[in-house]
Structure formats: structure tokens, C-alpha cells
């Protein structure tokens, strides 16, 4: 027997009025039961008629498509035009004027509460530049808000927030996040040195570690990523120099050494090696492109 899908359920699961996608029929088109086995061997069966199944690969998609109409309906309010809201499942980041972000947070709390959802307080924050106007980072202001509205579900972010790994906030905050990302990559560089095959080592260095900062390059401001990317370039060259046991490879980082009178043949070879190393593969190079130059 196929259950009847109410308009509310269609809204929650982001389904069109015409019905469920055919791919969901084997999983949600029929009544289902969940079986629980106790420690003493006894079993219990519960009817499962609403929501998504635990462990279902469709779960995150259905969950996000369900809350998206609710989120969109609230943020389309003209009074919240300056609020940037980013959600990842039950984690929420609100960015904008303090009065608008607090109003949005309260509306979202009430609306999500009606369908049995609540914010994850550990990863849900509100950031407003109003906090930076106070010497204490807005601590007293936020405490007064908490005292007056104890149901406020979000935490205060004083300098910025991270949205899917991308920092938004003050320059110091963003630089700190990028530096931590750099430190993790640099920490992993020596780990691939256990690979004895030089070709495989270089492929790992080029295709795994050298590109790990590219996401941050696409999402953060170039004026913030440039210095960090330069440090990563230097760390990669130094690690390659150590692996190849060619200390001179790391003596001149960045642009290849200029040709001047009396330049030794070894330095000229080093210059050519660096040029070819940095060139893309399609141009006959090694493909270890400079992160800073991306």
C-alpha cells in the first residue's frame, strides 16, 4: 500500500506536485519497518512512515532539499535583504547587519522547530561587523542579547566565520585560517618521502599536494592568498630538493635566476630545470605549476 504524501511532506522533501522521483520509489514508495535487536536477543519492529531512513545515501540530498524552501521563504523577506545565510545540513552561518541576522536566526529557529529541527550550536554562528566596533569584541553586547533573548540559537563570531572551509571576516581572521590550511599541507609533505619510486613521488607531489590550496585560491581574496601561496611554493620546492638530494634546487625560489655575466653552467641548468618544472604538462613541462601564479 502506497502512503499518501501530504503537501507538507512534499515541501519537506522538495518534491514536485506530480509525485516522487522514480528513483525513490523502491525506498519510499512502500511502507517500511525498522527492526531493533536488544542485547538479550529480543527484537522490536517499528513502522517507518516519515522522514528519511538512517544511513540512506539519499538522506543528505532529501534533507537539504526539504529545508531549502523554508530557508528561501524566510530570506526572501525584504527586511532581511542584507543577510547572507549559508547552511550545511544543520550547521548555519549568518553574516550581515546584527539586527537583521538576529531576526533571521529567530525566524529560522521557530520555523525549523515546527518540523522538529534545531541548530547545531557548536557549528552555527552569527558574524556582524558591529562586534568589531566594541573594545571587547562585542562580548558585553552579545551577553545582553542572550540575557534578553535566551532562545537565541547561534554563537557569536567576533572576527569571522568559515563557510565550507572559506573564511569570511577580518583580514587577520582570514589570514589565520589560510595559514592553518598551509600548515596542514606542509605537514603532509614529508609523508610521501617514503615512496622510493621517484616518478610516483613526483606524481603525488604534483597531483595531490600541489593542488590542495587551489580551492582556497578560488574562494578567498587574492590579496590574502598570495603570500600564503608563495610560502607553499617555497615549501614544495624545498621538499623536492630534499627528496632529490639537490640542495641547490631550493637556493633560488620564485622566478628563475637571471642570466648575468659569469653565471656558472650549473646555475644555468638550475634555471632551465626550474622553468621546465613549473611549465604545464601540455607545454612540455613537469606540471608542478606555481600555486601563487594560479
The residue range of the domain holding 258 is 169-283
Q: In this structure, are 121 and 157 located in the same domain?
A: yes
Cβ-contact 125, 156 below 8 angstroms: yes
Look at residue 54 and tell me if it is in a domain: no
Segment 30-63, tens digit of pLDDT: 777 778 888 888 988 888 777 777 677 777 777 7
- Separation between Cα atoms, residue 285 and residue 81, nearest integer Å: 49
From 54, 52, 49, 57, select the one nearest 2 (Cα to Cα). Answer: 49
Q: Which of 33-37, 199-203, 208-212, 224-228 has the lowest mean pLDDT?
A: 33-37
Same domain, 93 and 196: no
Task: Out of 123, 147, 164, pick the residue that ends a domain.
Answer: 164
Residue 124's SS3 state is coil
Q: Is 182 part of a structural domain of the chain?
A: yes
Residue 107 lies in a domain: yes
102 and 41 share one domain: no
| Count of domains observed in the chain | 3
The answer to whether 126 and 157 have CB atoms below 8 angstroms apart is yes
Helix (H) or strand (E) holding 86: strand 84-88
Percent pLDDT > 70 in the chain is 82
137 three-state secondary structure? coil
Residues 186 and 151 in one domain: no
pLDDT for res 205: 92
Of 78, 90, 13, 4, the closest CA to residue 52 belongs to 13
Under 8 Å between Cβ of 50 and 13? no
Q: What is the CA radius of gyration of the chain?
A: 27
Q: Is the pLDDT of residue 261 over 60?
A: no
Predicted TM-score (pTM) of the model is 0.63
- Indicate if the pLDDT at residue 84 is higher than 60: yes
Give the separation between CA 250 and CA 271, rounded to whole angstroms. Answer: 11
| The predicted structure's pLDDT at residue 110 | 84
Say if residue 4's pLDDT is above 90: no
Q: Is residue 137 part of a domain?
A: yes
Indicate whether 81 and 144 sit together in one domain.
Answer: yes
Tell me the per-residue pLDDT of 177-193, one tens digit each, with 9 for 90 and over. 999 999 999 999 999 99
Task: Please tell me the predicted confidence (pLDDT) of residue 76.
Answer: 85
Does 14 have pLDDT greater than 50? no
Please name the residues in contact with 57: beta carbons below 8 A apart, sequence gap of 6 or more: none
What are the tens digits of pLDDT across the range 105-149? Answer: 888 888 888 877 777 766 788 888 788 778 887 888 888 888 887
Average pLDDT over every residue of 210-236: 91
Contact status, residue 33 vs residue 48, Cβ threshold 8 Å: yes
Q: What is the pLDDT of residue 60?
A: 78
Amino acid at each position: 500500500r502506497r502512503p499518501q504524501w501530504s503537501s507538507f511532506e512534499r515541501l519537506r522533501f522538495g518534491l514536485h506536485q506530480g509525485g516522487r522521483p522514480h528513483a525513490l520509489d523502491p525506498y519510499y514508495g512502500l511502507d517500511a519497518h525498522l527492526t531493533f535487536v536488544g542485547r538479550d536477543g529480543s527484537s522490536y519492529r517499528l513502522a517507518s512512515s516519515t522522514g528519511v531512513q538512517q544511513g540512506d545515501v539519499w538522506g543528505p540530498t532529501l534533507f537539504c532539499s526539504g529545508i531549502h524552501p523554508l530557508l528561501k521563504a524566510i530570506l526572501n523577506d525584504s527586511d532581511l535583504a542584507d543577510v547572507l545565510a549559508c547552511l550545511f545540513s544543520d550547521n548555519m552561518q549568518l553574516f550581515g547587519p546584527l539586527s537583521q541576522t538576529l531576526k533571521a536566526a529567530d525566524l529560522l529557529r521557530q520555523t525549523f522547530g515546527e518540523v522538529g529541527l534545531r541548530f547545531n550550536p557548536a557549528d552555527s554562528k552569527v558574524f556582524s561587523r558591529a562586534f568589531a566596533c566594541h573594545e571587547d569584541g562585542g562580548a558585553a553586547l552579545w551577553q545582553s542579547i542572550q540575557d534578553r533573548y535566551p532562545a537565541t540559537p547561534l554563537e557569536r563570531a567576533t572576527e569571522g566565520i568559515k563557510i565550507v572551509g572559506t573564511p569570511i571576516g577580518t583580514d587577520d581572521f582570514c589570514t589565520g585560517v589560510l595559514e592553518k590550511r598551509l600548515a596542514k599541507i606542509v605537514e603532509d609533505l614529508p609523508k610521501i618521502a617514503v615512496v622510493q619510486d621517484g616518478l610516483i613521488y613526483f606524481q603525488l607531489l604534483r597531483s595531490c599536494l600541489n593542488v590542495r590550496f587551489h580551492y582556497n585560491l578560488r574562494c578567498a581574496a587574492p590579496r590574502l592568498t598570495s603570500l600564503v601561496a608563495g610560502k607553499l611554493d617555497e615549501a614544495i620546492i624545498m621538499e623536492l630538493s630534499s627528496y632529490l638530494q639537490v640542495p641547490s634546487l631550493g637556493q633560488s625560489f620564485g622566478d628563475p635566476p637571471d642570466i648575468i655575466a659569469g653565471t656558472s653552467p650549473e646555475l644555468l641548468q638550475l634555471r632551465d630545470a626550474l622553468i621546465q618544472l613549473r611549465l604545464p604538462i601540455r607545454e612540455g613541462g613537469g606540471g608542478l605549476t606555481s600555486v601563487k601564479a594560479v
